[in-house]
């Protein structure tokens, strides 16, 4: 991976899911297009659309139209989904990794 690249091209496993990678990208730039998210994360645009829909359905993301673009707001107070993650919130992890 080059110093200027945002994309990890390795096929090794990672601690972070694609769901959280999308949240990280949107935390940095809430107006990213699906194409931009796809390119940065290295998944298909269809997969990005599916993940965005899941995050919106779970009330983790809100989407607002801004002309022809979408602007996303992350619900940073939403608790992480798994019992082992305890009382931690999405915002805690975003703050740590941003």
Confidence at residue 6, expressed as pLDDT on a 0 to 100 scale? 57
Contacts of 42 (CB under 8 A, 6+ apart): 7, 8, 9
Whether residue 44 is contained in a domain is answered as: yes
4, exposed or middle or buried, with CB in 10 Å at 0-12, 13-18, 19+?
A: exposed
Instruction: Note whether residue 43 is domain-resident.
Output: yes
Question: What's the distance, CA 68 to chain centroid?
Answer: 20
Q: Output DSSP code: residue 85.
A: G
Q: Write out residues in the chain with pLDDT < 50, as ranges.
A: 1-4
**Predicted local confidence at residue 48, as pLDDT:** 98
CATH number at residue 44: 1.10.10.10
Q: Which residues are registered as beta bridge partners of 61?
A: 74
Domain presence at residue 3: no
Q: Which domain holds residue 44?
A: 18-97
What pLDDT does 40 receive?
A: 96
Q: Is 9 a member of any domain?
A: no
Q: What's residue 53's pLDDT?
A: 98
Count of structural domains within the chain: 1
**pTM reported for the whole predicted model:** 0.82
3-state secondary structure of 22: helix
């Amino acid at each position: 991976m080059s110093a200027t690249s945002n994309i990890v091209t390795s096929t090794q496993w990672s601690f972070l899911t694609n769901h959280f990678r999308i949240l990280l990208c949107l935390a940095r730039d809430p107006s990213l297009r699906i194409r931009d998210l796809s390119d940065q994360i290295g998944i298909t645009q269809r997969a990005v659309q599916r993940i965005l829909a899941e995050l919106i359905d779970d009330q983790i993301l809100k989407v607002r139209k801004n002309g022809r673009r979408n602007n996303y707001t992350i619900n940073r107070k939403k608790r992480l989904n798994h019992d082992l993650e305890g009382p931690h919130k999405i915002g805690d992890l975003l703050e740590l990794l941003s």
